[in-house]
């Protein structure tokens, strides 16, 4: 199983959210390909030394978000149908959280919407320079 997930149980972020975020990131990056099988709930719980019900909860939410699908008796797989859609959804979810946090932080230290927009477009220009 090539999935390399790590969780930080001592973080204030619930463990099941950490698992969800990392699976989405792996799907977005193609580390987890469409159709690829995820570890069983028990296996991932033992690999990460975390509660099995926590893993099961993360898998249920990933299934609801359309990132994985579970075949009874066979296991959980990265959604195969429309894999580009799945990848993009997963990437969007991860990026949205990061951008939300950055905007919230900028607002909290007194920046106005226009200031933040200017910063955001400057950042986009810098990171997408070669695409221009």
Q: Return residues touching other proteins (CB under 8 A).
A: 9-17, 41-42, 45-46, 49-54, 57, 104-105, 107-110
Instruction: Read off the DSSP letter of residue 65.
Output: T
Cβ of residue 10: shortest distance to other proteins, in angstroms?
Answer: 5
d(CA 14, CA 23): 15
Q: Quick count: other Cβ atoms within 10 Å of Cβ 65?
A: 16
Cβ of residue 85: shortest distance to other proteins, in angstroms?
Answer: 28
Residue 72 vs 110, nearer CB to other proteins: 110
d(CA 107, CA 103): 6
Cβ of residue 19: shortest distance to other proteins, in angstroms?
Answer: 10
Residue 16 vs 59, nearer CB to other proteins: 16
d(CA 26, CA 77): 13
Q: Phi, psi at residue 70, to the nearest 5°?
A: -115, 125
Residue 17 vs 91, nearer CB to other proteins: 17
Residue 105 vs 115, nearer CB to other proteins: 105
Cβ of residue 111: shortest distance to other proteins, in angstroms?
Answer: 11
Give the distance between the most distant pair of CA atoms in the chain.
Answer: 53
């Amino acid at each position: 199983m090539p999935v390399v997930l790590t969780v930080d149980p001592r973080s204030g972020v619930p463990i099941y959210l950490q698992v969800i975020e990392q699976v989405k990131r792996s799907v977005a990056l193609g580390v987890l390909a469409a159709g690829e099988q995820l570890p069983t709930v028990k296996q991932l719980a033992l690999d990460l030394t975390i509660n099995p019900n926590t893993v099961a909860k993360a898998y249920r939410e990933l299934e609801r978000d359309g990132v994985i699908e579970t075949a009874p008796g066979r296991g959980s797989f990265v959604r195969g149908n429309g894999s580009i859609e799945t990848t993009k959804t997963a990437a969007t979810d991860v990026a949205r959280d990061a951008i939300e946090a950055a905007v919230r932080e900028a607002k909290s230290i007194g920046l106005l919407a226009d200031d933040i927009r200017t910063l955001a477009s400057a950042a986009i220009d810098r990171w997408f320079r070669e695409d221009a």
